[in-house]
Structure 1
Amino acid sequence: MTPREAVAALPAYSAGKPPQAAEGFTPYKLSSNENPLGPVPAAAQALRDVSTLHRYPNPGAESLREALADQLQVPFSDIVTGAGSLGALTQLISAFAGTGQNGQKDEVIYAWRSFEAYPIVVRTAGAQDVAVPVAEDGRHDLAAMTEAVTDRTKTILLCTPNNPTGPALTHTEVTEFLKTIPQNIVVVIDEAYFEFVRSADPVDALALYREHSNVVVLRTFSKAHGLAGLRVGYAIAQPAVTDHLRKVAVPFAVSAVAEAAAMASLSHIDEVHQRVETIVQERDRVASALADAGWAIPETQGNFVWLPLGSASVDFAQAAGAQALAVRPFDGEGVRVSVGEPEANDRFIQLCRTYSGRPGLS
């Protein structure tokens, strides 16, 4: 069978692989940016308490949206849920970018390397992706992204902190960037890892969405909340955007089990933040140890670090695999390593201390 031409040409999404067994080593998965601490106990209990598996869930996760609206102090109607932030993004691209009746493709601009799913989502919708290389320090080149705007640009994606390179945008630079972008272009602030940011000038995405009708904020329960297996995400935007998002939103995308767990996690947000702080401290410990070992890596504000290994990326991943550590190589570019359990982090640090090469950033 022959799929659509655009589908046949799509790159395949490559998820982080599980660790392979190695004699003498406890295996650890550091390849998918998962939360090693898992969900808070109340969320785990909420899963067990769901007794309505024979019933359809709320069509648009209305109960969760009410809880989010109350906690974030945003209108209920400004929230649209999806199956993870990727599901929310897919709905948004479907609504705002594609191929016009004249056969001309809309353009979607994003930094690269960034989230691997971006080109897949954009091309599947029938739009043209415009990848703007990140700077050598792994940061978005916002000036170049502004220069890439044309009369066909419909959407711009800002990933902060950037996955997989790690740096986060600042509120000041995003504010200035928005001044250069026409109001008819949707600007998405993808904040899958925002809870882990500890920079001096973090992006206040909710303030920007309130100030700009074309700004959309994407968030997820997969990372900080430890609910990656349940797929819960959401978009926040003004009615100029959400009125259209609801038309393409997948009904029942958030299951009853997922909604219950997400709401329980929200009601214990202080515990969530405590777990995030534990991961942040481990992240900083890992980054400091790598610097002491002679590595020059981008500043990371997520729950992972990026090793700019270039052609040695696959070799490093194999070396990690020999010690039962699963990491995420991007062939020819680098390796992303999630912050995991302390023992896993210790083993990773020791590998970095002994691995030859240790490339720096020019």
Structure 2
Amino acid sequence: MTELIQPLSDVAPMRQVPAQPRSPARPPSFTELVYAHHDWWRVRQAGTPDPAVAAEYDLVRAGFEAAHGRIVRAYWCSHVESAVALTEKKRFRGLLAPTYGFHRESDWATKNDPDVTSELHRCDTLAVRAKAVLTGVRQRICLDLAISSAAHLLSLVDERAGAGDKTRTAAALEREHAAISEATSYYHEAANGQAQLVYFGGIATVTLALAGIAAGWLAISWAAPVAALAAGAVGAFVSVIQRINSGKFDLEYDVGGPYAFFLGGLRPLIGGAFATVITFAFDGGLLHVPVAAGESTDHRRLALLVLAFLAGFSERWAQDTLTSVLPGAAESSPKSKTAQKGAGREQRSSDE
């Protein structure tokens, strides 16, 4: 557990805050914990320990940790009642991954520091998105980065309250702005990588299902559309792997894992659909298989499987191939070329 407290240069008079009755069913809030800690810290630094204040702080902290989990990292200001903390709550006695909580109380203390408030809001946004989207070690790293920046920013507020150097504070604020930007970049990379895993799970599940169905069908009798469906799904699967390895595969990761899994499952279905239509086009005579007329049936089937794989691998190639069989597609090219030549002649005549 990490707790940081800005040392006091002087101790202000103790605030007398009347005790507020708290229902046993309602756990103490982080605001109450911050006030209790601030009172305990000032009494301790003044050299006049008060057992009642210490007992109140212990009681509030125990209730807060019972509801939100153990405080693993925290920063407590000394000049103002402000703090930031990261809690960890175990689930099922550690059998499941713990849940983390990001807690901050400083809005009223930073109302005269809009620059610090803006950066703290960025920390809040980063923590909220990390908690909602990321899981496992990525989430913990991102939350640690967020609370580190928030702690440094609160130390600037505390230093200003203690009449710190404004020039040094401004330079430190610029450094924290850059640090939060780096943490945000890490979040984007981690979230996209995590979404890619979920997307890959969706495409792998559907591809295996289609391949299993096709294998069972083809074991009984040959069916070109069924074989093309499986080959197109495999082509789509290979295409996604290639794009992921190239580092040029970005996903919408803030929409949640189920939606990414759903999108991944659609990819082999789309590839299989294009492959099936391409196969129908070849079987129907709209397109011609690029094999010799005297080739065996097995060779023609292999050629169809290759074309079906290409249709799933490249949807653009499949669309261009299907468009080429339309009656208007062949006529549009000569017309467009004639129009371009006419436009060129008109341009040359106008120049002369």
More helix by share: 2
TM-score, length of structure 1 as denominator length: 0.22
TM-score, length of structure 2 as denominator length: 0.22
Rg: which structure is higher?
A: 2
